Amino acid sequence: MLIHEDRLFPADPTTRTIAKALYDSVRALPLVSPHGHTQAVWFSKNEPFPDPAKLFVQPDHYIYRMLYSQGLSMEDLEIGVEHIQNPRRVWRLFASHYYLFRGTPTRLWLDFAFQELFGLTERLSEKTSDLYFDTISEKLNTPAFLPRALYDSFHMEVLATTDAPFDSLNDHQAIRDSGWKARIIPTFRPDSVVDPDFAGFRENITRLGQVTGEDTSTWSGYLNALRKSRERFRKMGATATDHGHPTANTANLTETEAVALFAKVLSGKADKNEHELFRAQMLTEMARMSVEDGLVMQIHPGSARNHNRRLYEKYGRDIGADIPTATNYVDGLRPLLEVVGNEPGLTIILFTLDESTYSRELAPLAGHYPCLRLGPPWWFYDSPEGMTRFRELVTETAGFYNTVGFNDDTRAFLSIPARHDVARRVDCAYLARLVADYRITEQEAFEVAHELTYGLAKRAYHL
């Protein structure tokens, strides 16, 4: 077998027994996925997923960044090509280097999918490469592996995608029109029209004007266009926005200053500090709109994108070379919080790639401001040790109830059950330790486990 039924539980027998009991009480709860990067088109079209290389290797930066770090070339892995020429060869390259993932969450997720979805029981390696390729290929062409069938079999209650403001949302509409009873909702992600460093920023703003019928060459028209876009998303079921900024900086400019800055940014003459200031101001504007329309605001700051310039120039974004940076939430968020920090009804969910901020900044902020909640460990920290550190560093100051449950945050649809399973196990293991040394009672742990698995996500995201 690839995975053990007691995986990720504490070794101490007493604590393990408690963890198992807690996990048994939440393992079958429906999956709530309020933040991720799956694509609505999969579910509107409901076509079979392609071959194993295209499905598992090509879109998963967790996988190819590790392979690249060990000297495999992007060319050999056929990353970034439209049609993989030799998927069986790509798969074999991956298979023969699968040992590199020992001790990583990728290994946990994949082994779960391989065993639970595809019935494979011998570890992936060069030896089993073809067996895997053939088994997975075959199953992907059966009705049970069509996107909608998988969604249903995953026992999903809601799945949020992440979408640009121009997205037609036609695929979301098509899902609704199809009569299929699934809750797949969009998330409003305006980076492409609020970040002057985003590729095509000015064209994007023009396009935003066309889509909304607003004059986006003016500050007020631009804000109205954003408002209208948010409303369109909200009508399609969106309950949240999402913001991926290089820092957590926010600003609180006067109207006059904002008008001038917007004009300069649009003119293309703004420098990088002004770009940063514009992003900062836009977070505050987005928060103001969230007070108006009730959309939950997610902030994902602190990634130095496209660090490897050569790969970026050849392959574009999301190629595995985004690196976390130190992030200052205390000063960064202050301007925004001075505007909306005490607003009833507002929810802002903070994420981080800088774990030194968990106990120093994020837990104290979320443990005070009524609008702030802490998102789960993100990206590199969506892992057993990462989740454990999160709870250990956050709970004593912010408690459990200022956190929001789990996000799978994935492009890899097939990994969703595995990711939620890891989170449930790790949270139950953490709770079991608190029970074992009498910090909370077992009865309380059952309640909290249910909240961490289900209740908090539902409430924080207004689902």
Contacts to a second copy from residues 331-390, by CB under 8 A = 331, 334, 337-338, 341-342, 344, 353-356, 359-361, 363-370, 372, 380-381, 383-386
CA pair distance 413, 59, nearest whole angstrom: 11
* Residue pointed to by tokens 């293991």: 429
Choices 68-76, 85-93, 212-220, 221-229; region in contact with a second copy by CB under 8 A: 68-76
Closer to a second copy at the Cβ: 140 or 445? 445
CA pair distance 300, 205, nearest whole angstrom: 22
Closer to a second copy at the Cβ: 185 or 418? 418
Q: What is the dihedral of CA 83, 319, 126, 110, to 10 degrees?
A: -100
Distance in Å, CB of 70 to a second copy, minimum: 6
Return phi, psi of residue 193, to 5°. -120, 0
Residue 237 touching a second copy (CB under 8 A): no
Residue 330 touching a second copy (CB under 8 A): yes
Query: How many binding residues for a second copy (CB under 8 A)?
Result: 90
Closer to a second copy at the Cβ: 32 or 366? 366
Q: What is the dihedral of CA 174, 176, 177, 178, to 10 degrees?
A: 80
Residue 167 touching a second copy (CB under 8 A): no
Closer to a second copy at the Cβ: 100 or 182? 100
- Tell me, rounded to whole angstroms, the distance of Cα 243 from its chain centroid: 11
Closer to a second copy at the Cβ: 158 or 280? 280
Closer to a second copy at the Cβ: 66 or 463? 66
Closer to a second copy at the Cβ: 130 or 396? 396
Binding mask 423-452 for a second copy (x = CB under 8 A): ----------xx-xxxxx---x--xx----
Q: Of the candidates 22, 55, 66, 236, which one interacts with a second copy according to CB under 8 A? A: 66
**Residues of this chain, 299-318, that bind a second copy according to CB under 8 A:** 304, 307-311
Closer to a second copy at the Cβ: 212 or 357? 357
Residue 392 touching a second copy (CB under 8 A): yes
Write the CA distances from 16 to 282, 425, 428, 436, integer angstroms. 47, 11, 10, 9
Q: Of the candidates 38, 402, 407, 415, which one interacts with a second copy according to CB under 8 A? A: 402
User: Is 198 within 8 Å of 192 (Cβ atoms)?
Assistant: yes
Closer to a second copy at the Cβ: 95 or 159? 95
Return phi, psi of residue 301, to 5°. -100, 170
Q: Of the candidates 88, 217, 323, 446, which one interacts with a second copy according to CB under 8 A? A: 323
**Residues of this chain, 240-299, that bind a second copy according to CB under 8 A:** none
Closest CA to 349 of 391, 394, 292, 300: 300
Distance in Å, CB of 202 to a second copy, minimum: 27
Write the CA distances from 280 to 54, 204, 253, 287, integer angstroms. 38, 19, 10, 11
- Strand blocks (E) in 354-400: 372-374
Q: Of the candidates 28, 82, 85, 102, which one interacts with a second copy according to CB under 8 A? A: 102
Please report the DSSP string for 217-269 in residue order.
TSHHHHHHHHHHHHHHHHHTT--EEEE--SS-------HHHHHHHHHHHHHT-
CA pair distance 431, 441, nearest whole angstrom: 10
Q: Of the candidates 328, 411, 450, 458, which one interacts with a second copy according to CB under 8 A? A: 328
